[in-house]
Amino acid sequence: MTGVKVNNVLGSLGLGILAILITVAIFAPQIAPYDPHDTYKWMERPSSEHLLGTNDVGNDILSEVIYGTRVSLFIAFTVSITAIIIGTALGLIAGYSSGVLGFLIMRIVDIFLTIPRMVLIIVLAAFLTQSIWNLIVIFIIFGWMMTARIVRSEVLTLRSQYYVDSAKMLGGSDRYIIWRHILPNVVPLVVVQFIMEASHVIIAEAGISFLGLGDPVARSWGTIFNYAFEYPNIILSDAWMWWMLPPGLCIAATVLGLTFVGYALEERLNPKLKTVVGMEA
């Protein structure tokens, strides 16, 4: 049963990483040694004063990265929570009422899933003003489909379960059935989906920002990385070590944390892997 152990280790590791990052995000003003907009001597090497040195305009990189956590996580969580809620609602509708509406929703989902969404996001971002709100809206628009599809197929399975029929038979209204019988069974899936979506958004946002389409004012890790990447002397000087690596590692760590947690959750929720042994009398 090493699988279970590994699973627990990965899960806790992931949770640990996320906990740290979330703490950093929340307490950024307390943790960060400086205001990320304050300027000091530019391109300082790491020192006791500036643990990660300063960037090309003299901002303290450590503080920038700490505040970047805020931006990145804020985008990721805002988008994934909203997208998940929308996706779950639409998935429920599509799955529960197999009418025209459901059919329509699923067609839209199929179509959206077929169109390469990141390319469309890049194209849209190119057309729109660079702001984190625009990004958030775009990500939400393209973020709910997978959830809707997964929730719908789960609802379809649940709907054919006898206990749903039973509830109907016992006099439960549709709303009652959805709230009491369908939704609670969908929630675990949705949680996993939330985690997956959050990690998608982290990567996608970092990517968009790396392309210089992020919000340059509210600097996320991707934007910090982009600035470092665009710095002409980045490869020749050693600055990549303290300017490029930290935001890069933060992105990777967040994704990793989310992946681990998502993986552990999925393993735990996957009924295939859970064998109930023996029945208690």
Partner 1 sequence: MHYINKLAYYLVIILIILSINFFLPRAMPGDPLAYVLGENPDMPIRMTEEEREMKLAEYGLDKPLPEQYVDYMIKLSKGDLGHSIYYKNPVMDEILIRLKWTLLLTGTATVIYMPLGIFLGAESAWARGKKKDTLSLITILTVSSFPSFVLGTLFVIFFAFKLGLFPLGCANTIGATYANPLEEALDILHHLILPVATLIIAHIGGTYLLMRNSMLSVIGADYILSARAKGLSERYILNRHAIRNALLPIVTMAALTIGFMTVGTIFVEKVFAYPGIGLLLYDSVLRRDYPLIQGIFLFISIFVVLANFIADMAYVWLDPRVSDE
Partner 2 sequence: MLEVTELTKYFSSGLIRKQYQRAVDGVSFTIKNGETLGLVGESGCGKTTVGRLILRLTKPTDGTVLFDGIDLFALNRRELLAIRPRIQMIFQDPDSSLNPRMKIGTSIAEPLKLHGTIPEVKRKQRIKELIETVGLNPEHINRYPYQLSGGQNQRVVLARILALNPDLIIADEPTSSLDVSVQAQILNLMRDLQKEFNHTYLFISHDLDVVRIMADRIAVMYLGRLIEIGETRDIYDHAKHPYTQALLSAAAVDGKTEQNVLEGETSSPLDTPTGCRFNTRCPYREEICAIKEPELVEVGRDHYVACHIA
Partner 3 sequence: SATALAEDGGVAITADKKIVRSVGGEVGSSDWRYPAPFTFYPRGPGYVRMSMLFDTLTWKDANGVIPALANGWKVSDDGETWTFYLNKDARWHDGEQFTADDVKFTFDYMKGYEGAFTWFDAIDYVDSVEIVDDYTVTISLNEPMASFLVDIAGNMPILPEHIWSSVSDPSEFKDDDAVMGTGPLKLVEYNSAEGFYHYEANHDYYNGKLIVDEFITMGVSNAAASLKNGDVDEATFWGSAVDAVKGFDGDDEFEIITGPSFWVLQMIFNCDADEGYPTNNVTFRRAIAYGINRDEIVEQKLHGGGVAANTGILHPDAVWYNPDCEDYAHNATRAEEMLDSLGFTDTNGDGIREYPAGAEKSGDLEFVLYTTGKYLREGELIQAQLEEIGVAVELTSSDWTTIDSYLRAADFDMVISGHGGIANPQILNIPDWPASTYDSDEYTSLFKEQETTLDIDSRKELVNQLQELVAEDLPVYTLYHPYIWCVYNPEVLDTWFYTRDGICIGIPIELNKLIFLARYGDANENGKINMQDVTQIERMILELDDETEMADANQNGKLNMQDVTHIELTILGRAPIRYE
Give min distance, CB of 111 to partner 1, in A.
5
The answer to the question of residue 176 lying near partner 2 (CB under 8 A) is: yes
Rg (CA), the chain: 22
Rounded Cα–Cα distance for residues 188 and 223 (Å) = 33
CB of 129 to partner 2, least distance (A): 43
**Binding residues for partner 3 (CB under 8 A):** 37-39, 42-43, 56-58, 126, 129-131, 212, 215-217, 231-237
Q: Does 278 bind ligand ATP (CB under 6 A)?
A: yes
**Choice between 57 and 123, CB closer to partner 3:** 57
**Looking at beta carbons only, is 104 or 126 nearer to partner 2?**
104
Binding segment toward partner 1, per CB under 8 A, in 50-58, 126-134, 168-176, 187-195: 126-134
281 scored as a contact of ligand ATP (CB under 6 A): no
Asked if 108 touches partner 2 (CB under 8 A), the answer is no
- Examine residue 277 and tell whether it contacts ligand ATP (CB under 6 A): yes
> Over the chain, what HEC string results?
CHHHHHHHHHHHHHHHHHHHHHHHHHCHHHHCCCCCCCCCCCCCCCCCCCCCCECCCCCEHHHHHHHHHHHHHHHHHHHHHHHHHHHHHHHHHHHHCCCHHHHHHHHHHHHHHHCCHHHHHHHHHHHCCCCHHHHHHHHHHCCCHHHHHHHHHHHHHHHCCHHHHHHHHCCCCHHHHHHHHHHHHHHHHHHHHHHHHHHHHHHHHHHHHHCCCCCCCCCCHHHHHHHHHHCCCCCCCCCHHHHHHHHHHHHHHHHHHHHHHHHHHHHHHCHHHCCCCCCCC
Tell the smallest beta-carbon distance from residue 271 to ligand ATP (Å).
Answer: 15
In DSSP terms, which residues pair with 196 in a beta bridge? none
Q: Least distance from C-beta 233 to partner 1, angstroms?
A: 12
Shortest distance in whole angstroms from residue 268 CB to ligand ATP:
18
Q: Shortest distance, CB of residue 269 to partner 2, whole angstroms?
A: 12
Binding site for partner 1 (CB under 8 A): 1-3, 6, 10, 110-111, 113-120, 122-128, 199, 203, 206-207, 210-213, 225, 229, 235, 240, 244-245, 248, 251-253, 255-256, 259-260, 263, 272-273
Residues that bind partner 2 (CB under 8 A): 161-163, 165-173, 176, 180-181, 184-185, 276, 279-280
